Amino acid sequence: IHWFSIFNSFMMVVFLVGLVSMILMRTLKKDFSRLTQDDDDETGLEVGDESGWKQVKGDVFRAPSRLMLFSALYGTGVQIASLLFLVIGLSISFYHSHFIYKRGSLVTSFIGCYAVTSFVAGYISGSFYLRYGGKQWIQTMILTSCLFPGSCFTLGLLLDFIATAYGSLASIPLGTMVILLILWLF
Protein backbone atom coordinates (compact mmCIF):
# COMPACT_ATOMS: atom_id res chain seq x y z
CA ILE A 1 0.00 0.00 0.00
CA HIS A 2 1.33 3.43 -0.90
CA TRP A 3 0.71 5.27 2.35
CA PHE A 4 2.35 8.46 1.11
CA SER A 5 -0.05 8.67 -1.85
CA ILE A 6 -3.08 8.05 0.36
CA PHE A 7 -1.92 10.68 2.84
CA ASN A 8 -1.17 13.13 0.03
CA SER A 9 -4.65 12.64 -1.47
CA PHE A 10 -6.28 13.04 1.93
CA MET A 11 -4.40 16.27 2.64
CA MET A 12 -5.32 17.61 -0.81
CA VAL A 13 -9.02 16.94 -0.14
CA VAL A 14 -8.80 18.62 3.28
CA PHE A 15 -7.06 21.65 1.76
CA LEU A 16 -9.60 22.01 -1.06
CA VAL A 17 -12.58 21.64 1.28
CA GLY A 18 -11.09 24.28 3.55
CA LEU A 19 -10.52 26.63 0.62
CA VAL A 20 -14.06 26.25 -0.73
CA SER A 21 -15.60 26.65 2.73
CA MET A 22 -13.54 29.78 3.36
CA ILE A 23 -14.72 31.33 0.09
CA LEU A 24 -18.34 30.43 0.85
CA MET A 25 -18.13 31.81 4.39
CA ARG A 26 -16.72 35.14 3.15
CA THR A 27 -19.44 35.44 0.51
CA LEU A 28 -22.25 34.53 2.87
CA LYS A 29 -20.91 36.79 5.61
CA LYS A 30 -20.79 39.74 3.22
CA ASP A 31 -24.30 39.02 1.91
CA PHE A 32 -25.69 38.51 5.40
CA SER A 33 -24.19 41.73 6.71
CA ARG A 34 -25.55 43.64 3.70
CA LEU A 35 -28.99 42.07 4.22
CA THR A 36 -29.10 42.93 7.93
CA GLN A 37 -27.83 46.43 7.23
CA ASP A 38 -30.62 46.93 4.69
CA ASP A 39 -33.17 45.63 7.18
CA ASP A 40 -31.94 48.06 9.84
CA ASP A 41 -32.19 51.08 7.55
CA GLU A 42 -35.38 53.06 8.03
CA THR A 43 -35.04 54.93 4.73
CA GLY A 44 -37.41 52.64 2.87
CA LEU A 45 -34.96 51.71 0.13
CA GLU A 46 -35.38 48.25 -1.33
CA VAL A 47 -32.63 45.71 -1.42
CA GLY A 48 -31.03 46.17 -4.80
CA ASP A 49 -29.37 42.80 -5.23
CA GLU A 50 -31.83 39.95 -4.76
CA SER A 51 -29.77 37.15 -6.21
CA GLY A 52 -28.37 33.83 -5.15
CA TRP A 53 -29.31 32.26 -1.86
CA LYS A 54 -31.52 35.20 -0.83
CA GLN A 55 -34.12 34.18 -3.40
CA VAL A 56 -34.44 30.65 -2.10
CA LYS A 57 -34.06 31.25 1.65
CA GLY A 58 -37.81 30.77 2.16
CA ASP A 59 -37.73 27.40 0.40
CA VAL A 60 -34.64 26.11 2.17
CA PHE A 61 -36.08 26.30 5.68
CA ARG A 62 -39.52 24.95 4.78
CA ALA A 63 -40.55 21.46 5.86
CA PRO A 64 -40.49 18.81 3.11
CA SER A 65 -43.79 17.47 1.80
CA ARG A 66 -43.21 13.92 3.11
CA LEU A 67 -41.46 14.80 6.35
CA MET A 68 -41.71 11.36 7.96
CA LEU A 69 -40.20 9.50 5.00
CA PHE A 70 -37.54 12.14 4.44
CA SER A 71 -36.44 12.15 8.08
CA ALA A 72 -36.28 8.33 8.10
CA LEU A 73 -34.14 8.34 4.96
CA TYR A 74 -31.96 11.13 6.36
CA GLY A 75 -31.37 9.26 9.62
CA THR A 76 -30.60 6.04 7.77
CA GLY A 77 -28.15 7.84 5.49
CA VAL A 78 -26.29 9.34 8.43
CA GLN A 79 -26.21 5.92 10.07
CA ILE A 80 -24.73 4.29 6.96
CA ALA A 81 -22.13 7.06 6.65
CA SER A 82 -21.10 6.64 10.29
CA LEU A 83 -21.10 2.86 9.80
CA LEU A 84 -18.71 3.16 6.86
CA PHE A 85 -16.35 5.43 8.79
CA LEU A 86 -16.42 3.07 11.78
CA VAL A 87 -15.74 -0.07 9.74
CA ILE A 88 -13.00 1.61 7.70
CA GLY A 89 -11.42 2.85 10.93
CA LEU A 90 -11.59 -0.65 12.44
CA SER A 91 -10.12 -2.15 9.29
CA ILE A 92 -7.24 0.31 9.30
CA SER A 93 -6.55 -0.13 13.01
CA PHE A 94 -6.58 -3.94 12.78
CA TYR A 95 -4.67 -4.05 9.49
CA HIS A 96 -1.84 -6.27 10.76
CA SER A 97 -4.13 -8.42 12.87
CA HIS A 98 -5.65 -11.72 11.82
CA PHE A 99 -9.12 -10.16 12.23
CA ILE A 100 -9.33 -8.96 8.63
CA TYR A 101 -8.04 -12.16 7.05
CA LYS A 102 -10.65 -14.48 8.53
CA ARG A 103 -13.40 -15.48 6.15
CA GLY A 104 -16.53 -13.41 6.69
CA SER A 105 -15.07 -11.22 9.42
CA LEU A 106 -15.61 -8.00 7.48
CA VAL A 107 -19.29 -8.82 6.88
CA THR A 108 -19.69 -9.74 10.54
CA SER A 109 -18.12 -6.46 11.59
CA PHE A 110 -20.48 -4.59 9.25
CA ILE A 111 -23.51 -6.26 10.82
CA GLY A 112 -22.28 -5.70 14.37
CA CYS A 113 -21.37 -2.07 13.71
CA TYR A 114 -24.75 -1.53 12.04
CA ALA A 115 -26.44 -2.69 15.22
CA VAL A 116 -24.16 -0.47 17.32
CA THR A 117 -24.78 2.65 15.19
CA SER A 118 -28.56 2.23 15.15
CA PHE A 119 -28.97 4.94 17.78
CA VAL A 120 -27.49 7.43 15.29
CA ALA A 121 -30.34 6.90 12.85
CA GLY A 122 -32.96 7.19 15.57
CA TYR A 123 -31.51 10.36 17.04
CA ILE A 124 -30.94 12.11 13.70
CA SER A 125 -34.32 11.21 12.22
CA GLY A 126 -36.18 12.07 15.42
CA SER A 127 -34.48 15.42 15.88
CA PHE A 128 -34.97 16.33 12.21
CA TYR A 129 -38.64 15.34 12.38
CA LEU A 130 -39.29 17.33 15.56
CA ARG A 131 -37.36 20.36 14.25
CA TYR A 132 -39.97 20.78 11.52
CA GLY A 133 -42.91 20.35 13.87
CA GLY A 134 -43.76 16.69 13.38
CA LYS A 135 -46.19 15.17 15.85
CA GLN A 136 -45.98 11.42 15.10
CA TRP A 137 -42.40 10.77 16.17
CA ILE A 138 -43.04 7.16 17.25
CA GLN A 139 -44.11 6.22 13.73
CA THR A 140 -41.01 7.98 12.43
CA MET A 141 -38.81 5.86 14.71
CA ILE A 142 -40.54 2.68 13.58
CA LEU A 143 -40.17 3.66 9.93
CA THR A 144 -36.50 4.51 10.46
CA SER A 145 -35.78 1.18 12.10
CA CYS A 146 -37.68 -0.84 9.48
CA LEU A 147 -37.02 0.95 6.20
CA PHE A 148 -33.47 0.00 5.26
CA PRO A 149 -32.95 -3.25 7.20
CA GLY A 150 -36.43 -4.51 6.32
CA SER A 151 -35.90 -3.99 2.60
CA CYS A 152 -32.40 -5.52 2.74
CA PHE A 153 -33.59 -8.49 4.79
CA THR A 154 -36.56 -9.11 2.47
CA LEU A 155 -34.36 -8.91 -0.61
CA GLY A 156 -31.72 -11.15 0.97
CA LEU A 157 -34.33 -13.72 2.04
CA LEU A 158 -35.84 -13.75 -1.45
CA LEU A 159 -32.44 -14.22 -3.09
CA ASP A 160 -31.56 -16.92 -0.56
CA PHE A 161 -34.76 -18.83 -1.35
CA ILE A 162 -33.96 -18.60 -5.07
CA ALA A 163 -30.39 -19.81 -4.43
CA THR A 164 -31.70 -22.70 -2.32
CA ALA A 165 -34.24 -23.62 -5.02
CA TYR A 166 -31.44 -23.86 -7.58
CA GLY A 167 -29.31 -25.91 -5.20
CA SER A 168 -26.55 -23.35 -4.86
CA LEU A 169 -23.84 -23.88 -2.28
CA ALA A 170 -23.62 -20.12 -1.70
CA SER A 171 -27.02 -19.90 -0.01
CA ILE A 172 -27.11 -18.62 3.55
CA PRO A 173 -28.29 -21.16 6.14
CA LEU A 174 -31.72 -20.59 7.64
CA GLY A 175 -30.28 -20.42 11.15
CA THR A 176 -28.09 -17.49 10.15
CA MET A 177 -31.09 -15.70 8.67
CA VAL A 178 -33.03 -16.24 11.92
CA ILE A 179 -30.10 -14.85 13.94
CA LEU A 180 -30.02 -11.77 11.67
CA LEU A 181 -33.78 -11.35 12.11
CA ILE A 182 -33.45 -11.55 15.90
CA LEU A 183 -30.55 -9.08 15.84
CA TRP A 184 -32.65 -6.68 13.79
CA LEU A 185 -35.75 -7.00 15.98
CA PHE A 186 -33.93 -6.57 19.28
Q: For 60-103, what is each residue's pLDDT tens digit?
A: 777 788 999 999 999 999 999 999 999 888 888 776 666 556 67
Q: Tell me 138's DSSP state.
A: H
State the pLDDT at residue 95. 65
At residue 114, does pLDDT exceed 80? Answer: yes
- The whole-chain average pLDDT of the chain stands at 82
Closest by CA to 68, choosing from 132, 151, 148, 115, is 132
State the pLDDT at residue 39. 55
Mean pLDDT of 1-27: 89
More confident residue, 159 or 91: 159
Are 141 and 126 a contacting pair, CB within 8 Å? yes
Backbone Cα Rg of the chain? 24
At residue 26, does pLDDT exceed 90? Answer: no
At residue 110, does pLDDT exceed 90? Answer: no
State the pLDDT at residue 100. 55
Tell me how many degrees the CA angle 55-48-45 measures, rounded to the nearest 5. 115
pLDDT level of residue 126 (50, 70, 90 thresholds): very high
Q: Provide long-range contacts, Cβ within 8 A and 24+ apart, for 147-153.
A: 147/72, 147/73, 147/76, 148/76, 148/80, 149/114, 149/184, 150/184, 153/180, 153/181, 153/184
pTM passes above 0.75: no
State the pLDDT at residue 14. 94
State the pLDDT at residue 73. 94
Amino acid in position 21 = S
